[in-house]
Amino acid sequence: MKHFLAISDLSSSEVQDLLDLAVRLKKEYFEKGNPPLFKGKVLGMIFQKPSLRTRVSFDMAMRHCGGDALYLSPNEIGLGKRESIADVARVLSGYVQALMARVFEHEHVLELAKWSNIPVVNGLSDYNHPCQGMADALTIQEKFGKKKGLNVTFVGDGNNVAVSLMHVSAKLGWNFTLASPEGYDLNPKAVEIAKNIAKETGSKLNFLRDPNQAVKGAQVIYTDTWTSMGQEEETAKREKVFPPYQVNAKLVNEADKDAIVMHCLPAHRNHELTDDVADGPHSVIFPQAHNRLHAQKAILARLFGVA
């Protein structure tokens, strides 16, 4: 891999390879600690959006493997405003060994990758969230193994997290269903990409309005906030549209008896996800969050060419 910008850029075998490496690095970390794979390497972390999991998981991934991370705030860079993205990419390429960017516009991370001569990792954009998707897949495989034909259902807004979950599901031969209100569907380009992947892997894609129908037989129920960062002006409108899509105990009971409930966090509790489900026996939201660390170690290791 030269960059890590979208799960759809990888082959199915490359996706599974990353997951297998994440499993190995996670086991190694808990048994004896990771070796200094990233010694002498610094990850520059560009943030346009605030973050808890992305910042801490990347920072600690570098530290655990003997490297370092440099946080660059929105005020320090002003990506595309104070200085052109092309210039930022070329300047930082001489200072650090890789870049991670958490941005509003997907074009910004693509532009960084275009002009950078070091690896660029997409830490989140308005189009997708591939690091989250890899952590999600790791969590699902830890529960169900490397089975094909799993039923993965996303309930709520067809947002960037849903795009990456759809693409990783298609790559691994899982069936993906989205239940969303009208007007909150997935990006059509992302759907077309997923359909092409599904033709190769046998994954089935379904797009429904009824959340109860969508979770029938699901082994995975996934939800996310109704209003993502950058959409705050839509909050009042969305609060009226999304309540039927709340993941609560009644909805979970419609799914497979061994279903897991996932959320990328931060969660607005008792909005998209009720407390009793978030803290209940089906929830894996905290192991899922912790798996960001291990999935991202694997991504960085492949980009650095050290594992």
Catalytic annotation, residues: 102, 129, 132, 224, 264, 292
CB 166 within 8 A of CB 186: yes
CB 176 within 8 A of CB 154: yes
Q: How many residues does the chain have?
A: 307
150 closest CA partner among 162, 165, 140 = 140
Residue 296's CB is within 10 A of a number of other CB atoms, namely: 28
